[in-house]
A and B are shown apart, each in its own frame.
Chain A
Amino acid sequence: MEQRLANTWQMTVNEKKFIETALLSDLRVDGRRPFDYRRLIIKFGREDGLSEVQLGHTHVMGFVTSQLVQPYRDRPNEGTLAIFTEFSPMADPSFEAGRPGESAVELGRIIDRGLRESRAIDTESLCVVAGKFVWAIRIDLHILDNGGNLVDAANIAALAALSTFRRPECSLGGKDAQEVIVHPPETREPLPLIIHHLPIAVTFAFLGKDNIVVVDPTHYEEAVMGGRMTATVNMNGDVCAIQKAGGVGVMHSVIMQCLRIASVKAADMTTKIKNAVSTSLYAYSPQVESYKTERSQRMIKRHTSTAAVDVSEPSHKEINVLLRHHLERSTIRSGELIASSSNAMEIETQLSEQDEKQRDGGARTFIGGPSNWDPLSKGVDSDALKVSLASRGAVRANTKLEESKIENLDVFEQSHPLADVNPVPPLHEVAAIDLQTKGERTLKDAVKPKHKRKKKPSSKTDAS
């Protein structure tokens, strides 16, 4: 008993007074204003459905898996969604392994209500055979570091993981079309979940005797707060859920103000999540790229006159677009990796290779199989690389990621470069560049587009 008391962390009176006094002049301990969020970083893992979110010092990892199960009796044609939250002891010394405590259960319930009852995920599309087989989606949220405001961070992790999750495609077969055949991802492309809207949780804390409202409390502020409230709203202004479990009483005008602030924050957060998701998808899957290429090719054919932009070296730009995104992907995904020179070399050769094949045979080199990094990949042929580089004439094979990053930023002066590599470059800007370069290619090779498209499926099967 004494040991547990000795091990718990207590807040000193000085710290408490300091936080409250600073708030009277609209200052928070980490320099934020009362309604500012901390820095948000969303990273994705190599496989679908794995996300890692950092909100200031709070780290949460989300992982989505799916399984075919029997549906509930009262809902025979709907899939199920289950959220498991793990307050890992690594997040906070007061978290204990074993049964989840009440705050863990509350967190799970808030996120669950936001997703399920607002019908953010379409569960009817998860039905395979009504009454027999449906997809059960399981979301595991691992809290790795408790820097305060776990609800918001865990919610974002869940949404990011759901947005990038792909479930395997399945079809009916067998003797009487009652057997379900699940296709592995190599044979058929897995499908995304249908997400109607993104419910964002915004947490408010009430501090001090005047009940000053702050958004996104740190764990120091949580230790001194009088009460808290979480409002789950989406970008359309719908309130999906509100949670105020006990704590100090506040005036209803304050509650209304909080809801207004929450809808503003939700819009901001939704754009951030969508940008992060689409950047990672854009960098990862050539399916999305080729779909966009085809769409943009069709658009370019209609507007041939307006597509003329001063692009001196289209191939150079294109390679740099891919390079930049691949770099961002690799800095996002593996920001801490010790970048060996062979690794960097290999990324560049992959990209130039892929560029050569015009993204049709490149599916294997881009989508992450477990051994995508290998320094001795079969595809790297230094002679072929030199030939391709000589023909393009513009790309210097750098062996350092940083150098090439700076080079790309220089190239993109015309098109508003980003000062720091953040996982949130605006997608429309990238798509615009994409459109231009694609336009140049089809105008130049106007003879070939149909042949190219026909080649794509055959070379994909060759590659796979």
Chain B
Amino acid sequence: MEVDRADGRTRNQLRPLACTRGTLNRAHGSATWSQGETKVLAAVFGPKAGTKKNENPEKACIEVIWKPKTGQIGKPEKEYEMILKTTLQSICLLTVNPNTTTSIIVQVVNDDGALLPCAINAACAALVDAGIPLKHLAVAICCCLPDGGYVILDPCKLEEQRTKAFAYLVFPNSLASVRRKGSLQVEVEPVEHGIITSVTRGVMPVEDYLRCLERGRAVSAKLSEFLRRSM
């Protein structure tokens, strides 16, 4: 039974994606990523000399600054910064440039739901534009659970506000490589079945969460395809 969402999409349909790289001149790398109406601009500066005080000088350090569209910077912005920082730290090759800082600045241009996944995708694209060495890319998706017990993907702001629980999931992108299938596996499963970050809001039963994960994985393959085409 296909549910009619407010904008006519089916449950598993994403909003149209658009990605442009190299939009800014002073920044070393920049990208805008838009999913439907949600649009985020990310810029990367780095690597710069020196790390922050409490950071390990044997590795590169990542610094994230989140700029909201309007208003003061408060706790939600700090939380986003922290999530972005840990996510990006896991995809960057930190040992290539030790004792350096790479700054990523995220500017929200428009927020229409699924803001954090959009920002993660934009930051990833900006890192690629800047040429920062990465292990693999990250693709982020938002899955939301309205009352019916089914999973819908990529909600807009109204849907996000009305739902009782949602999850932001970040997966590594799917790899297209010339090496043998077996060598890219971690234990038994292929690398792209891993999950980098998961942020949930609201209460959801365990089976629903696992269903979200499955859906997310399926969509991450599509997103990786889009990333590959646009880069």
Interface on A for B, CB 8 Å cutoff?
Answer: 2-3, 6-7, 45-47, 50, 57, 59, 61, 63, 65, 86, 88-93, 97, 138, 140, 142, 144-147, 219, 334, 336-338, 340, 343, 370-371, 373-378
Contact = CB atoms under 8 A, between A and B. Distances in A.
Contacts of B48: 3, 6-7, 93
Interface in B1-39: 6-9, 15-20, 23-27, 30, 32, 34, 36-37
B9 A90 contact: no
A90 B30 contact: yes
Interface stretch (B63-71, B131-139, B143-151, B169-177): B63-71
Contact of B157 (A63, A337, A370): A370
Given A93-B45, A142-B107, A373-B36, A337 B18 contact: yes
30 contacts: A3-B50, A6-B48, A7-B50, A45-B109, A61-B109, A65-B70, A88-B107, A89-B65, A89-B103, A89-B105, A90-B24, A90-B26, A90-B27, A90-B30, A90-B43, A90-B107, A92-B26, A93-B26, A138-B70, A145-B25, A145-B26, A146-B26, A147-B25, A336-B20, A338-B230, A343-B16, A371-B7, A371-B8, A373-B16, A376-B8
Contacts of A7: 48-50
A109 B158 CA distance: 38
Nearest to A335: B20
Nearest to A147: B25
A47 B103 CA distance: 30
A374 B70 contact: no
B105 A370 contact: no
B134 to A, nearest CB: 20
A41 to B, nearest CB: 12
A6 B6 contact: no
Nearest to B105: A90
B109 A338 contact: no
Question: Counting chain B CB atoms within 10 Å of each CB, which of A2, A370, A373, A374 scores highest?
Answer: A370
Nearest to B112: A370
A371 B105 contact: no
Interface in B144-191: 156-158
B13 to A, nearest CB: 8
B110 interface: yes
Nearest to A65: B70
A198 B50 CA distance: 46
B37 A374 contact: no
B20 A144 contact: no
Contacts of A46: 37, 110
Given A91-B24, A370-B157, 13 more contacts: A6-B50, A45-B110, A63-B69, A90-B30, A90-B105, A92-B26, A93-B26, A140-B69, A370-B36, A370-B156, A374-B9, A375-B16, A376-B8
A371 B156 contact: yes
B94 to A, nearest CB: 18
Given A93-B26, A144-B24, A336-B32, A63 B107 contact: no
Interface string B94-135: 000000000101010110100000000000000000000000
Contacts of A374: 7-9
A140 B16 contact: no
Contacts of B140: none
B18 A142 contact: no
B41 interface: yes
A374 B156 CA distance: 12
A6 B48 CA distance: 8
Smallest CB-CB A-B distances: 4 pairs: A371-B7, A3-B50, A90-B43, A90-B105
B27 to A, nearest CB: 6
B67 A371 contact: no
Given A145-B27, A146-B26, A147-B26, A88 B67 contact: yes
A45 B111 CA distance: 12
A6 to B, nearest CB: 4
A89 B26 contact: no
Contacts of A378: 8
Contacts of B45: 89-90, 93
Contacts of A145: 24-27
Contacts of A375: 16
Contacts of A377: 8
Nearest to A50: B110
A45 B112 CA distance: 13
A394 B26 CA distance: 48
A144 B41 contact: yes
Nearest to B10: A376
A359 to B, nearest CB: 23
Interface string B192-214: 00000000000000000000000
Contact of A336 (B9, B18, B49): B18
A378 B105 CA distance: 39
A376 B14 CA distance: 12
Nearest to A46: B37
Nearest to B108: A142
A65 B68 CA distance: 14
A68 to B, nearest CB: 16
B129 to A, nearest CB: 13
A6 B45 CA distance: 14
Nearest to A4: B50
A211 B65 CA distance: 40
A56 B9 CA distance: 39
A91 to B, nearest CB: 6
A91 B26 contact: yes
